[in-house]
Chains A and B, each alone.
Chain A
Amino acid sequence: AQSVAQPEDQVNVAEGNPLTVKCTYSVSGNPYLFWYVQYPNRGLQFLLKYITGDNLVKGSYGFEAEFNKSQTSFHLKKPSALVSDSALYFCAVSENYGGATNKLIFGTGTLLAVQP
Protein backbone atom coordinates (compact mmCIF):
# COMPACT_ATOMS: atom_id res chain seq x y z
CA ALA A 1 0.00 0.00 0.00
CA GLN A 2 1.14 3.49 -0.75
CA SER A 3 1.95 5.81 2.11
CA VAL A 4 3.47 9.16 2.93
CA ALA A 5 5.31 10.18 6.08
CA GLN A 6 5.96 13.64 7.40
CA PRO A 7 8.26 13.07 10.36
CA GLU A 8 7.97 16.54 11.86
CA ASP A 9 4.74 17.78 13.38
CA GLN A 10 6.13 21.30 13.50
CA VAL A 11 9.01 23.21 11.97
CA ASN A 12 10.15 26.53 13.38
CA VAL A 13 12.25 28.92 11.34
CA ALA A 14 13.19 32.57 11.53
CA GLU A 15 12.06 34.91 8.80
CA GLY A 16 14.68 35.19 6.07
CA ASN A 17 16.20 31.79 6.83
CA PRO A 18 15.86 28.80 4.50
CA LEU A 19 13.17 26.28 5.34
CA THR A 20 12.76 22.57 4.73
CA VAL A 21 9.68 20.48 5.34
CA LYS A 22 10.38 16.78 5.07
CA CYS A 23 8.41 14.07 3.31
CA THR A 24 9.17 10.43 2.57
CA TYR A 25 7.02 8.07 0.59
CA SER A 26 6.41 4.41 -0.06
CA VAL A 27 4.88 3.40 -3.37
CA SER A 28 4.84 0.54 -5.80
CA GLY A 29 5.81 1.86 -9.18
CA ASN A 30 6.50 5.44 -10.15
CA PRO A 31 5.44 8.02 -7.58
CA TYR A 32 3.34 11.05 -8.38
CA LEU A 33 4.03 13.44 -5.52
CA PHE A 34 2.36 16.65 -4.44
CA TRP A 35 2.67 19.42 -1.88
CA TYR A 36 -0.33 21.36 -0.62
CA VAL A 37 -0.62 24.16 1.91
CA GLN A 38 -3.57 24.89 4.19
CA TYR A 39 -4.19 28.20 5.92
CA PRO A 40 -6.54 28.36 8.94
CA ASN A 41 -10.17 27.68 8.05
CA ARG A 42 -9.31 27.27 4.39
CA GLY A 43 -9.11 24.45 1.90
CA LEU A 44 -5.88 23.10 0.46
CA GLN A 45 -3.86 25.11 -2.03
CA PHE A 46 -1.70 23.32 -4.60
CA LEU A 47 2.00 24.23 -4.41
CA LEU A 48 3.79 21.85 -6.77
CA LYS A 49 3.99 18.30 -8.07
CA TYR A 50 6.51 15.79 -9.36
CA ILE A 51 5.53 13.45 -12.15
CA THR A 52 8.72 12.82 -14.07
CA GLY A 53 11.75 14.69 -15.34
CA ASP A 54 13.94 17.07 -13.34
CA ASN A 55 14.32 16.11 -9.71
CA LEU A 56 14.02 19.75 -8.65
CA VAL A 57 10.48 21.00 -9.05
CA LYS A 58 9.60 24.67 -8.75
CA GLY A 59 6.19 25.74 -7.56
CA SER A 60 4.11 28.62 -6.29
CA TYR A 61 5.21 31.35 -3.86
CA GLY A 62 8.92 30.56 -4.28
CA PHE A 63 8.66 26.99 -3.03
CA GLU A 64 10.52 24.10 -4.60
CA ALA A 65 10.87 20.42 -3.86
CA GLU A 66 13.57 17.90 -4.53
CA PHE A 67 12.67 14.38 -5.57
CA ASN A 68 15.20 11.79 -4.38
CA LYS A 69 14.41 8.31 -5.60
CA SER A 70 17.15 6.52 -3.66
CA GLN A 71 16.03 8.08 -0.38
CA THR A 72 12.33 7.98 -1.34
CA SER A 73 12.02 11.59 -0.26
CA PHE A 74 10.31 14.69 -1.60
CA HIS A 75 11.31 17.53 0.74
CA LEU A 76 9.77 20.97 0.35
CA LYS A 77 12.18 23.92 0.44
CA LYS A 78 12.28 27.67 0.23
CA PRO A 79 15.44 29.76 0.27
CA SER A 80 14.06 32.58 2.43
CA ALA A 81 11.04 32.11 4.69
CA LEU A 82 8.32 34.72 5.16
CA VAL A 83 6.02 35.12 8.15
CA SER A 84 3.15 34.69 5.71
CA ASP A 85 4.42 31.17 4.91
CA SER A 86 3.23 30.05 8.34
CA ALA A 87 0.63 27.37 7.64
CA LEU A 88 0.01 23.63 7.59
CA TYR A 89 1.81 21.77 4.82
CA PHE A 90 0.77 18.40 3.41
CA CYS A 91 2.71 16.01 1.26
CA ALA A 92 0.65 13.59 -0.83
CA VAL A 93 1.08 10.74 -3.26
CA SER A 94 -1.35 9.96 -6.02
CA GLU A 95 -2.72 6.46 -6.23
CA ASN A 96 -3.07 6.88 -9.94
CA TYR A 97 -2.46 4.03 -12.32
CA GLY A 98 -2.86 5.14 -15.88
CA GLY A 99 -5.64 7.56 -15.11
CA ALA A 100 -7.79 5.07 -13.24
CA THR A 101 -8.28 7.32 -10.26
CA ASN A 102 -7.25 10.59 -8.69
CA LYS A 103 -7.11 9.37 -5.11
CA LEU A 104 -4.56 11.24 -3.01
CA ILE A 105 -2.95 9.73 0.07
CA PHE A 106 -1.84 12.47 2.44
CA GLY A 107 0.79 12.69 5.11
CA THR A 108 -0.17 13.87 8.57
CA GLY A 109 0.88 17.43 7.89
CA THR A 110 3.64 19.70 9.20
CA LEU A 111 2.90 22.98 10.85
CA LEU A 112 5.38 25.61 9.69
CA ALA A 113 5.88 28.53 12.07
CA VAL A 114 7.98 31.42 10.80
CA GLN A 115 9.05 33.84 13.49
CA PRO A 116 9.62 37.52 12.62
Chain B
Amino acid sequence: KAGVTQTPRYLIKTRGQQVTLSCSPISGHRSVSWYQQTPGQGLQFLFEYFSETQRNKGNFPGRFSGRQFSNSRSEMNVSTLELGDSALYLCASSPPNLMADTQYFGPGTRLTVL
Protein backbone atom coordinates (compact mmCIF):
# COMPACT_ATOMS: atom_id res chain seq x y z
CA LYS B 1 0.00 0.00 0.00
CA ALA B 2 1.16 3.51 -0.72
CA GLY B 3 1.84 5.61 2.34
CA VAL B 4 0.48 8.99 3.29
CA THR B 5 1.42 11.60 0.73
CA GLN B 6 1.63 15.34 1.27
CA THR B 7 1.97 18.08 -1.28
CA PRO B 8 3.81 20.25 -1.71
CA ARG B 9 6.88 19.19 0.25
CA TYR B 10 8.24 22.72 0.53
CA LEU B 11 6.60 26.12 0.44
CA ILE B 12 7.87 29.65 0.85
CA LYS B 13 5.33 32.39 1.46
CA THR B 14 5.34 35.94 2.72
CA ARG B 15 3.48 37.37 5.67
CA GLY B 16 -0.18 38.05 5.00
CA GLN B 17 -0.53 35.46 2.28
CA GLN B 18 -2.57 32.29 2.60
CA VAL B 19 -1.54 28.73 1.92
CA THR B 20 -3.24 25.39 1.26
CA LEU B 21 -1.60 22.08 2.05
CA SER B 22 -2.84 18.73 0.80
CA CYS B 23 -2.81 15.25 2.30
CA SER B 24 -3.77 11.94 0.73
CA PRO B 25 -4.26 9.20 3.33
CA ILE B 26 -3.46 5.53 3.02
CA SER B 27 -6.14 3.76 1.00
CA GLY B 28 -9.02 2.71 3.23
CA HIS B 29 -8.16 5.12 6.03
CA ARG B 30 -10.96 7.52 6.92
CA SER B 31 -9.38 9.56 9.69
CA VAL B 32 -6.90 12.31 8.87
CA SER B 33 -5.14 14.38 11.51
CA TRP B 34 -2.88 17.39 11.14
CA TYR B 35 0.03 18.38 13.38
CA GLN B 36 2.37 21.34 13.49
CA GLN B 37 6.01 20.76 14.41
CA THR B 38 8.26 23.62 15.46
CA PRO B 39 11.53 23.68 17.42
CA GLY B 40 9.95 25.79 20.15
CA GLN B 41 6.54 24.18 20.60
CA GLY B 42 7.27 20.65 19.44
CA LEU B 43 4.49 18.58 17.93
CA GLN B 44 1.04 20.06 18.37
CA PHE B 45 -2.31 18.73 17.24
CA LEU B 46 -4.20 20.96 14.84
CA PHE B 47 -7.37 19.04 13.97
CA GLU B 48 -8.76 15.72 12.93
CA TYR B 49 -11.28 14.85 10.24
CA PHE B 50 -13.30 11.68 10.00
CA SER B 51 -15.81 11.02 7.24
CA GLU B 52 -15.67 14.67 6.12
CA THR B 53 -16.45 15.97 9.62
CA GLN B 54 -14.08 17.72 11.97
CA ARG B 55 -13.93 15.45 14.99
CA ASN B 56 -11.51 17.37 17.18
CA LYS B 57 -9.62 20.64 17.12
CA GLY B 58 -6.48 21.82 18.87
CA ASN B 59 -5.72 25.23 20.34
CA PHE B 60 -4.92 27.15 17.20
CA PRO B 61 -6.44 30.40 15.98
CA GLY B 62 -9.22 30.45 13.43
CA ARG B 63 -6.70 31.27 10.69
CA PHE B 64 -6.04 27.54 10.63
CA SER B 65 -8.78 25.55 8.97
CA GLY B 66 -9.23 22.29 7.20
CA ARG B 67 -11.58 20.06 5.34
CA GLN B 68 -11.90 16.52 4.15
CA PHE B 69 -13.32 15.27 0.91
CA SER B 70 -15.45 12.22 0.21
CA ASN B 71 -12.36 10.26 -0.89
CA SER B 72 -10.78 11.02 2.53
CA ARG B 73 -8.20 13.40 1.09
CA SER B 74 -7.74 16.41 3.31
CA GLU B 75 -6.57 19.97 2.95
CA MET B 76 -5.55 22.49 5.53
CA ASN B 77 -5.53 26.20 4.97
CA VAL B 78 -3.70 28.94 6.82
CA SER B 79 -4.81 32.48 6.11
CA THR B 80 -2.99 35.71 6.86
CA LEU B 81 0.31 33.99 7.42
CA GLU B 82 2.55 35.08 10.27
CA LEU B 83 6.26 34.46 10.75
CA GLY B 84 5.43 32.07 13.59
CA ASP B 85 3.55 29.81 11.21
CA SER B 86 6.85 28.61 9.79
CA ALA B 87 6.87 24.93 10.64
CA LEU B 88 6.75 21.37 9.42
CA TYR B 89 3.12 20.40 8.93
CA LEU B 90 2.48 16.71 9.29
CA CYS B 91 -0.56 14.80 8.20
CA ALA B 92 -1.45 11.38 9.60
CA SER B 93 -4.09 8.85 8.68
CA SER B 94 -5.65 6.06 10.71
CA PRO B 95 -7.55 2.91 9.82
CA PRO B 96 -11.28 2.79 10.61
CA ASN B 97 -11.04 1.03 13.97
CA LEU B 98 -12.51 2.26 17.18
CA MET B 99 -9.82 2.15 19.81
CA ALA B 100 -6.38 3.77 19.82
CA ASP B 101 -5.82 3.69 16.10
CA THR B 102 -2.21 3.79 14.99
CA GLN B 103 -1.56 6.96 13.05
CA TYR B 104 0.65 6.77 9.99
CA PHE B 105 2.41 9.98 9.11
CA GLY B 106 3.32 11.54 5.82
CA PRO B 107 6.70 13.19 5.11
CA GLY B 108 5.35 16.63 5.92
CA THR B 109 5.21 20.00 4.23
CA ARG B 110 7.91 22.45 5.27
CA LEU B 111 6.38 25.94 5.28
CA THR B 112 8.63 28.97 5.51
CA VAL B 113 7.03 32.37 6.04
CA LEU B 114 9.21 35.39 5.18
Contacts and interface: CB of A to CB of B under 8 A. Distances in A.
Interface of A: 32, 34, 36, 41-46, 49, 51, 90, 94-96, 98-109
A102 B101 contact: yes
Contacts of B35: 104, 106
Of the listed residues A41, A44, A98, A102, the one surrounded by the most CB atoms of chain B closer than 10 A to its CB is A102
A108 B107 CA distance: 19
Contact of A42 (B94, B103, B107): B107
A90 B43 CA distance: 9
B33 interface: yes
B110 to A, nearest CB: 8
A109 B42 contact: yes
Interface of B: 4, 6, 31, 33, 35, 42-45, 48, 50, 55-56, 58, 90, 92, 94, 97-108, 110
B102 A101 contact: no
Nearest to B91: A43
A111 to B, nearest CB: 12
Contact of A99 (B42, B99, B102): B99
Contact of B100 (A36, A41, A94): A94
Contact of B104 (A32, A41, A46): A46
B106 A34 contact: no
A43 B93 CA distance: 12
Contacts of A95: 56
Nearest to A44: B105
